Amino acid sequence: MYRIAPSLLSADFARLGDEVKNVVAAGADLIHFDVMDNHYVPNLTIGPLVCAALRPHTTVPIDVHLMVKPVDRIIPDFAKAGANIISFHPEASEHIDRTISLIKEQGCKAGLVFNPATPLDYLDHVLDKLDLVLIMSVNPGFGGQSFIPGALAKLRAVRARIAASGRDIWLEIDGGVKTDNIAEIARAGADTFVAGSAIFGAPDYQATIRKMRGELAAL
Ligand code: DX5
Ligand code: ZN
């Protein structure tokens, strides 16, 4: 019911293959793969070549979070690199409906990402095509930022929309998720939790993921 998605952004980039294996052994359900282009967001990270290189090291789904603009050209590259889920920001696409179709044509699940100041109105028109909604609880670009509390109301609003749709759409939260706020975030409706610094910044990945699951189990 709940999924933990460690973000590689806070992993040791010199040892990414081992980091993926270790965090999956520690109980990760997904690998969250943050792609930044120094244009849509003010940081530069990893691309399809790294995704393809990591793919043989794990069988868990790779959850690609595209923070790039434009977005369409790079989508087939990530599909070929073994991505399972591809999410993008509406501000980064001229034609949101077309981008969603492109992701699905490539055989991947499609997600739409909402920044802290992005309204949910886009969901009026595309929720029925989405597999995942990702709510940002920080402004995208960097790990280790603090959770913006306004994301909780947004999660509640999206959870209501998903329930009304009757479809099994994942509701993911990204930014500032820690062991001490994950329960409150789950109560607001999230079922999939990205955590970068909370997991990779701690010495024992398994202990941290267990603590998170313990908080969720107590709900
Ligand atoms: C931020 C990224 C996040 C980031 C989260 O733009 O999308 O996935 O890694 O990092 P933490 O969990 O440290 O806030
Ligand atoms: Zn992310």
pLDDT value of residue 4: 99
Gap from CA of 137 to ligand 1 centroid (Å): 9
Is the bond leading into 70 cis (omega within 30 degrees of zero)? yes
DSSP string, 150-209: THHHHHHHHHHHHHHHTS--EEEEESS--TTTHHHHHHTT--EEEESHHHHTSS-HHHHH
Q: pLDDT band at residue 11, thresholds of 50, 70 and 90? A: very high
Q: How far apart are CA 29 and CA 3, in angstroms?
A: 6
- Tens of pLDDT, residue by residue over 165-213, are 999 999 999 999 999 999 999 999 999 999 999 999 999 999 999 999 9
Strands 62-67 and 109-114: unpaired
Gap from CA of 175 to ligand 2 centroid (Å): 7
Q: pLDDT band at residue 105, thresholds of 50, 70 and 90? A: very high
pLDDT value of residue 128: 98
Q: Which residues are catalytic?
A: 34, 174
Atom of ligand 1 nearest to the CA of 145: 14
Cβ contact 111:172 at 8 Å: yes
pLDDT value of residue 143: 98
- Tens of pLDDT, residue by residue over 14-54, are 999 999 999 999 999 999 999 999 999 999 999 999 999 99
CB neighbours of 94 closer than 8 A, spacing ≥ 6?
A: 70
Atom of ligand 1 nearest to the CA of 195: 12
Nearest bound ligand to CA 7? 1
* Proportion of the chain above pLDDT 90, given as a percent: 100
Residues with CB under 6 A from ligand 1: 7, 9-10, 32, 34, 65, 138, 140-141, 143-145, 174-177, 194-198
The number of beta carbons lying within 10 Å of the beta carbon of residue 46 is 18
pLDDT value of residue 2: 98
- pTM for the whole thing? 0.98
pLDDT value of residue 169: 98
For residue 66, the cross-strand partners are 35
Q: pLDDT band at residue 94, thresholds of 50, 70 and 90? A: very high
**Residue nearest ligand 1's atom 1 by CA:** 140
Gap from CA of 151 to ligand 2 centroid (Å): 15
Q: How far apart are CA 168 and CA 201, in angstroms?
A: 32
Q: Which tokens in the block code for residue 117? A: 């100041």
Where residue 159 falls (left for φ over 0; alpha for ψ -120 to 50; beta otherwise) is alpha
